[in-house]
Structures are given as structure tokens and as C-alpha cells.
């Protein structure tokens, strides 16, 4: 068996040398060399600089004594590269790194089992989502990330120069996935979002990733909510079953998730918050603080995951279907312990109502002509959602900052690495 990795830790005890190698697994490989059995191998192992890139031949030891990783009986080892200067960060976790250091050297800190476990879980989240959606008849799509108009408009668009024209980085595949419902009943995309929000909080990024889903021929918003709650339950239970080693490394216990999730009307949420001393301005969405407080209250009632439905129309996107009263919309949020992890709802599929909504929102229908055209040729009732991968990870793993859930951070202050 040939395995490769980087020297993480080395310790010599008398005539025995123990070397930990960080490879593809979460737990390191533990190599044990004994001077009296193989002096040449012992000398090589005992002089390996930390950070060296090596490959070794060996087999798992018949008796596994190490509690840190898988112990190997090594037959030979080859050194491919040694650091030319001391490592800029401590990789074994004895001295916890500051978040700023972790962000700067995440690519190097991935040799650490804890850092590696976070991103093995992320891989499983994406794999589980794709598996669930494909198995339930959704077709994976890829939409443009350089667009002529934003799905949400406003000041959260990143402008780019596109030859002689002005364009934007995509906030969301919203408009494109809706267009495709005119021909494909169920679509999804695992996609980046670019939003020029000036927030610099523990829950905001300017480049993030999401699982975007749209489905047609729905009877009501409930059809979409059912898809979302079943998807989230599938993802969490998948990670719970498939990533036991990673969860153990992260000291995380994931309870099994069952559906349905609690449905809470927006007005109910406001009443609950006000009765607990949290002020919510009329006609506005819930603030981050209000969401956190509501999360504590709902968790005490046994609802870690819950929907908020029936939002005021004035605080939602133009593409959501309005209720007959004209004041509410068929939009929902899915919150996980006080953090919004997904947002969606039933869309407006009637051409004339969509044009009217654009105008009421202060948008020019002429800028959305490519989008509106799709609604002229038999667009069925439809709806969808966007599920934030980093936000889901935060709540699943108990991370303190969303930046811990992304390899290369893009926020208000970072363009490198």
C-alpha cells in the first residue's frame, strides 16, 4: 500500500520514532520506526522536517495502539520536498490560530484534521443535495454568472465592464431557472452568489455558494416547502450517517432530522418577538438580532428548523406571487436555530401581473425583456428556493463565523488569497 502526505508531527522516544503524516483521510497516518529493526528507516523518519511531502509503503499495523490516527508498519519512505523555511502556522492544533490567520493560511491548515473535517462535511453536503435532487427528477443546470440585470436589483450588484457594455456579477440564478421552467419542470444548480452588501458580520459573505432549486406545475407554495424540508433533512441525515469520523473530530453531535418543519406566519413571529421585548418595525423584514432571538425561543419549543411564511409584499422581490389581499406574498424563509439558511416561495407566472410587479418595485420592465418573454408561451405555476451552503454548515457544525465554512474568503476586506 502506497500512501502520501505531509509530516504533521514527529516525536522520538528512545529507540522508537513516531511520525504523523497528514494525507487524504481526516485522521493522520501514524508511522512507527524502531532503530533495532530498521536503522536506515529510523534515521530517515527521525530527521524529517515538519511539513515535508512524503510517500511511504506499508500496511496498517495488526495492533492499533495510536489514538490519534491509523498506525502503519512502514517498509520504505521517500521524501519529495522539504520546507525551505519554517511553517507560518502551527498545524497540529496545540496553539489555536486566530480566525485571520486561519483565513490567510487555510490552504495550509487543511493538513490539520479539524480543518480538513469541515470541508469533508461540505463535500458531503453538496454530494447529498445532488443525489437527492437527481433522484427526485430535478435536472442540473448551469446559468451565466455575468448578467445584464440582477435578480434582486438595488445596490447589491457588482458592476463589471463587459466589452463596451456594463454588466453585473450574478446575485442569483433566479431569473434563468424560472425561464427554464417553460420547458423543464424541475431544475437545480449548485452555484456561487455575488452580492455587494457592505455588511461585515459573522454571517455575511460577498461571494457565497447555494443550492438553487425551481419546480413547475405546483399546486401551492407548500409543494416547494416540502421539497426544501425533505432536501435539508436528507442532507443533515446523510452527513450524520456518512461523516461520523469528521463529526467526532469536530466534536459535533447531529440529531436525526424529521419532517415536517414548523410553519410560522410572519405576524406570529413578530408577536412572539414583541411579547419577548424585541422591537420589530412595521412592514420590515426581521433583523439579524430578531432572527437570533426568535431562534432561541423556537429551539426552546423543540423547533430548531422552522419556516416563516406570509411576508409583507413591500419587503420581497418582484417575482413573488402576491396574495389576493395585495399586502402579503407567497414567500418563505427557512431558519435554522435563528439563522436564515434558505429563502423561496411561489413565483408570479402571469405575464401581466409580473410586469405590474416590476413597475411597482420601481424597476423598468424593458431591462427584463429576456426574462418576461418566457412568460408569454405557457409558463406553469412554479416556485423555488435558494439554500445557502455556508449558512447550513454554520448551524450544522456550530461554527462561530461563516468564514470558517469557505476555503477562500471573499468579503469586504479580502481579495486574496
Same domain, yes or no: 125 and 219: yes
Q: Does 205 count as an annotated binding residue?
A: yes
Active site annotation includes 203 = yes
Considering the candidates 229, 340, 348, 404, report the single residue annotated as catalytic.
340
Residues 317/152, Cβ–Cβ less than 8 Å = yes
Same domain, yes or no: 12 and 158: no
- The answer to whether residue 363 sits within a structural domain is yes
Core vs surface per residue 15-33: b (16+ CB within 10 A) or e? ebbbbbbbbeebbbbbbbb
Same domain, yes or no: 189 and 303: yes
Q: Does 195 count as an annotated binding residue?
A: yes
Same domain, yes or no: 328 and 219: yes
Instruction: Specify the number of domains making up the chain.
Output: 2
Same domain, yes or no: 264 and 158: yes
- The answer to whether residue 413 sits within a structural domain is no
Considering the candidates 106, 120, 186, 204, report the single residue annotated as catalytic.
204
For residues 211 and 134, what is the distance between their CA atoms, to the nearest angstrom? Answer: 13
Active site annotation includes 327 = no
Q: Does 343 count as an annotated binding residue?
A: yes
What's the sign of the alpha-carbon dihedral 107, 108, 110, 111? positive
Domain that holds residue 21: 2-87
Give me the pLDDT at residue 95, please: 77
Same domain, yes or no: 256 and 215: yes
Give me the pLDDT at residue 51, please: 96
Same domain, yes or no: 71 and 132: no
Chunk the chain into consecutive blocks of 10 residues (it has 417) and report each block's average pLDDT, rounded to whole numbers. 95 93 94 89 94 95 90 94 94 85 95 96 98 98 90 77 95 94 97 91 94 98 98 98 97 96 95 90 81 95 96 90 92 97 97 95 90 96 98 97 97 92
Give me the pLDDT at residue 344, please: 97
Phi/psi for 377 (5° steps) reads -125, 45
What is the domain-level CATH number for residue 175? 3.30.930.10
pTM: 0.94
Q: How many CA atoms lie within 13 A of 222 on its CB side?
A: 5
The last residue of one of the domains, among 69, 87, 105, is: 87
Q: Does 390 count as an annotated binding residue?
A: yes
Give me the pLDDT at residue 93, please: 78
Q: Does 389 count as an annotated binding residue?
A: yes
Neighbours of 189 (CB within 10 A): 22
- The answer to whether residue 119 sits within a structural domain is yes
Question: Which residue in 364, 342, 353, 369 sits closest to 319, CA to CA?
Answer: 353
Same domain, yes or no: 188 and 313: yes
- The answer to whether residue 312 sits within a structural domain is yes
- The answer to whether residue 305 sits within a structural domain is yes
Q: Does 196 count as an annotated binding residue?
A: yes
- The answer to whether residue 417 sits within a structural domain is no
Give me the pLDDT at residue 154, please: 63
- The answer to whether residue 401 sits within a structural domain is yes
Active site annotation includes 195 = yes
Active site annotation includes 204 = yes
Q: Does 62 count as an annotated binding residue?
A: no
**Using one digit for the tens of pLDDT, what is the confidence trace for 60-116?**
999 998 888 999 999 999 999 999 999 999 998 777 889 999 999 999 999 999 999
Give me the pLDDT at residue 310, please: 93
For residues 10 and 366, what is the distance between their CA atoms, to the nearest angstrom? Answer: 66
Active site annotation includes 412 = no
Give me the pLDDT at residue 228, please: 98
Q: Does 183 count as an annotated binding residue?
A: no
Considering the candidates 102, 349, 382, 391, report the single residue annotated as catalytic.
391
Same domain, yes or no: 201 and 238: yes
Describe the chain by its helix, strand, coil percentages, rounded to 5: 35, 30, 40
Q: Does 236 count as an annotated binding residue?
A: no
Same domain, yes or no: 33 and 154: no
Considering the candidates 22, 52, 97, 343, report the single residue annotated as catalytic.
343
Q: Does 85 count as an annotated binding residue?
A: no
Active site annotation includes 197 = yes
Give me the pLDDT at residue 151, please: 62
Considering the candidates 130, 203, 263, 414, report the single residue annotated as catalytic.
203
Active site annotation includes 323 = no
**Using one digit for the tens of pLDDT, what is the confidence trace for 274-328?**
999 888 887 677 888 999 999 999 999 999 999 999 999 988 889 999 998 888 9
Give me the pLDDT at residue 286, please: 86
> How far from each other are the two terminal CA atoms of the chain, in whole angstroms?
35
Amino acid at each position: 500500500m502506497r500512501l502520501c502526505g505531509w509530516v504533521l508531527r514527529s516525536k522520538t522516544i528512545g529507540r522508537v520514532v513516531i511520525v504523523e503524516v497528514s494525507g487524504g483521510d481526516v485522521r493522520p497516518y501514524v508511522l512507527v520506526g524502531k532503530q533495532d529493526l530498521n536503522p536506515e528507516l529510523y534515521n530517515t523518519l527521525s530527521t524529517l522536517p515538519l511539513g515535508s511531502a512524503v510517500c511511504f509503503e506499508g500496511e496498517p499495523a495488526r495492533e492499533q495502539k495510536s489514538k490519534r490516527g491509523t498506525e502503519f508498519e512502514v517498509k520504505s519512505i521517500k521524501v519529495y520536498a522539504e520546507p525551505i523555511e519554517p511553517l507560518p502556522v502551527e498545524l497540529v492544533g496545540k496553539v489555536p490560530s486566530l480566525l485571520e490567520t486561519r483565513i490567510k493560511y487555510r490552504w495550509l491548515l487543511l493538513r490539520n484534521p479539524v480543518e480538513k473535517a469541515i470541508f469533508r462535511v461540505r463535500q458531503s453536503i453538496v454530494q447529498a443535495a445532488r443525489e437527492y435532487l437527481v433522484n427526485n427528477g430535478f435536472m442540473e443546470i448551469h446559468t451565466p454568472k455575468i448578467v445584464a440585470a440582477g435578480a434582486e436589483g438595488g445596490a447589491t450588484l457588482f458592476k463589471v465592464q463587459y466589452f463596451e457594455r456594463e454588466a453585473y456579477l450574478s446575485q442569483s440564478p433566479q431569473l434563468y431557472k424560472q425561464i427554464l421552467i417553460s420547458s423543464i419542470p424541475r431544475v437545480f444548480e449548485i452555484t456561487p452568489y455575488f452580492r455587494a452588501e457592505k455588511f461585515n458580520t459573522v454571517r455575511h459573505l460577498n461571494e457565497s455558494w447555494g443550492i438553487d432549486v425551481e419546480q413547475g406545475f405546483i399546486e401551492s407554495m407548500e409543494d416547494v416547502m416540502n421539497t426544501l424540508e425533505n432536501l435539508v433533512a436528507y442532507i443533515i441525515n446523510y452527513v450524520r450517517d456518512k461523516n461520523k469520523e469528521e463529526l467526532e473530530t469536530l466534536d459535533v453531535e447531529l440529531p436525526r432530522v424529521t419532517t415536517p418543519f414548523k410553519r410560522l406566519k410572519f405576524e406570529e413571529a413578530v408577536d412572539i418577538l414583541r411579547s419577548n421585548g424585541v422591537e420589530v418595525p412595521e412592514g420590515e423584514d426581521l433583523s439579524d438580532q430578531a432572527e437570533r432571538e426568535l431562534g432561541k425561543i423556537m429551539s426552546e419549543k423543540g423547533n430548531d428548523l422552522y419556516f416563516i411564511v406570509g411576508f409583507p409584499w413591500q419587503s420581497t422581490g418582484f417575482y413573488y406571487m402576491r396574495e389576493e389581499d395585495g399586502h402579503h406574498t407567497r414567500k418563505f424563509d427557512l431558519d435554522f436555530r435563528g439563522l436564515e439558511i434558505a429563502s423561496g416561495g411561489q413565483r408570479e407566472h402571469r405575464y401581466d401581473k409580473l410586469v405590474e410587479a416590476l413597475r411597482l418595485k420601481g424597476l423598468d420592465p424593458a431591462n427584463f425583456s429576456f426574462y418576461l418573454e418566457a412568460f408569454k408561451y405557457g409558463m406553469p405555476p412554479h416556485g423555488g428556493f435558494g439554500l445557502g451552503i455556508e449558512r447550513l454548515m454554520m448551524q450544522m457544525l456550530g461554527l462561530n463565523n461563516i468564514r470558517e465554512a469557505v476555503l477562500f474568503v471573499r468579503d469586504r476586506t479580502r481579495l486574496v488569497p
